[in-house]
Structure 1
Amino acid sequence: MFKKIDFSFEIKAIGYAFYFSFLPFLFFVFQFLFGEKELSFILLKQMEFLIVPFSAWWIIFLYHDYFEEGGSDLLYSYPLKAEEHGLLRIGVFSALYEILIAICCMFLIVRFPDANFFVLFIQYAAESLLYTSIGFVIILLTKKVMVPILMIVAYVSTEFLTEGSITPVFHIMSFNTEPLSLDQIIFSVLLNGCISVILFVFGHLYLRKKTDLRLF
C-alpha cells in the first residue's frame, strides 16, 4: 500500500511549509509547560482553533507543485492511480498529523486527570479530518494554495471571535472549556465524520475524472 509513497520526496515537495505545521504544537507545549494551571482551558482552545485547523496545511501543500509550480504533468508522468495521487497520500500525512494530535491529548490528560483520552482524541480527530477534507476539495477545485488557507483562516477566526454566533447552524468545533463526555460529543463527531467522508469521496471522484481526462 505504501510502496509508492516516497516520504522524503513528498516532504521536499511540500518544502519549508512541512515544518511550519509544527509551530502550533510548540505553542501548545509552551502553554502546557509555562501557562497557569488555572488557565488550562486555553489548551483546549488551542486544540480547536490552532492545532486542529492546521491539519489541512500539509494536504494543501501536497498539491502546490501540481498547481502552482507548473507540475501538473506529474499527474500523468507517474504510473499512479488517482487514489495514489489523492487519498493514499492524504491518508499517510493525515495519519501522521493524528499522531501529533494524540500526543497533545496525552498532555491534556495530565492537565485534566478526569478526562478520557479516547473521547478527547475522537473529538479532535473528527474535527481534523473535516478540515483535511475541506482543504483537499478546495485545492482541487481552485488549484490555488492560498484559497483554502484563507477560507479556513477566515472561518476559524470568525468562530473564535464570535463563539459561533454568526453561523449558528453548524460548527466544526465544540467551544468547550472543559473536557467533554462521549455523550456530549458523539453527535458532532458523527456529523464531522460523515461530512468528511462525503468530501473525500467527492474529491477522489473529481481527481479521478480529471486525471483520466487529463484536464488539470
Structure 2
Amino acid sequence: MNKLIHLFKFDAKLLGYLYSFPFVIYVLCMLLMLSFAARSNDPFMPYIVVQGIAVPIAGWHIVFLYNSLYEEGATETLLPYYRKVFFIDIIRYAALHGTFVFLLVGLTVWLNGTQFFTVPLIIHLMMLFIFYQIVGLAVLSAVRSLDVALAIIAMYTFMEVATQGTFMPWPHIFIFREPVDSISMFLPLFWLIIGVFLSIVQIWRTFK
C-alpha cells in the first residue's frame, strides 16, 4: 500500500496541474448530470455525461505519464523502465478512475432508478471503459505525439457525443438512447471489441 501511495505521489509531482485535470472533470460531470436531470425527462441525458465525458477522460492519466517516452532522446532510456511497470500502471489507474466512474454510475442510478441499467448496457459501459483506458496509449505510441493523440481521440469523442452518433458513417461506440433492437446494441459492442483488440496489439508491439 505504501508503495502504491508513493507511486501516485510521484506521478502527481511529475505531472503537476495536469494530474488534477480528470478529477476536476468528474466534478463538472456530476454538476452536468444534476442539471440535465432537473431540466430533461430523458433518462439517457445524465448517462451520456458518464459515457461521453467521464469514461473518455478516465484514460488520460496514463497517456500524460507515458508521453515522456516520446520526448527527444528519452525513448531508449525510459522504455525498459516503463516495460517493467506497465501492467502495474494500467491496473492502478484503471482502479482509481473506475472508482470515480462507479460513483457517477451510482448517481445515474439515483437519478433514473435501478431499472435503467440493463445487463447489455452494463456490458457496454464496461467495454467502453476498457477501450478508453488503453486507446489513448495505443494512439500515442503510434503517432508519438501527445498533441496529435489528444486531437484524434478528442475530435472523435466530441463529434460522437455532440451529434449523438449521426455525424459520419464511421464506427459508433456510444449508446445515446435505449436500444430498440439487437443490432443497435451489437454494433457498438462489435466496434469496441475491435478497438480494444487493435489497441492491445499496438501496445504489445511497443512494450514487448
The TM-score bracket by the shorter chain reads 0.7 to 0.9
Query: Is the CA contact 2:171–2:191 (under 8 Å) kept in the aligned structure 1?
Result: no
Alignment correspondent of 1:200: 200
Identity of aligned residues (%): 21
Alignment correspondent of 1:155: 156
CA deviations over 1:98-133 (Å, ceiling 9, x no partner): 221111111111111122376554322311222232
Runs of 5+ consecutive residues of structure 1 not aligned to the other structure: 209-216
C-alpha root-mean-square deviation of aligned residues, in Å?
Answer: 3.1
Shift of 1:203: 0.8
In 2, Cα distance between equivalents of 1:103 and 1:25: 10
Alignment correspondent of 2:126: 125
CA deviations over 1:16-54 (Å, ceiling 9, x no partner): 212100122111222344554352543122123211211
In 2, Cα distance between equivalents of 1:197 and 1:87: 17
More helix by share: 2
How has the CA–CA distance of structure 1 residues 185 and 26 changed in structure 2, closer, same or farther, with 3 Å as cutoff? Answer: same
How has the CA–CA distance of structure 1 residues 206 and 75 changed in structure 2, closer, same or farther, with 3 Å as cutoff? Answer: closer
In 1, Cα distance between equivalents of 2:134 and 2:14: 20
Give every structure 1 segment of 4 or more consecutive aligned residues whose post-TM-superposition deviation is greater than 6 Å. 2-5
Alignment correspondent of 2:97: 97
For 1:1-216, list aligned pairs within 5 A: 6-39=7-40, 40-68=43-71, 71-72=74-75, 73-76=77-80, 78=81, 82=83, 84-113=84-113, 114-116=115-117, 120-176=121-177, 185=185, 188-189=188-189, 191-208=191-208
Shift of 1:152: 1.1
Which secondary structure state, in structure 2, belongs to the residue aligned with residue 164 of structure 1? Answer: coil
Q: Point out which structure has higher relative CO (alpha carbons under 8 A, 6+ apart).
A: 1
Query: Is the CA contact 2:61–2:93 (under 8 Å) kept in the aligned structure 1?
Result: yes
Aligned residues: 201
Letter of the 1:61 counterpart: F
Q: Indicate the larger mover: 92-101 or 6-15.
A: 6-15
TM-score, structure 1 as length reference: 0.76
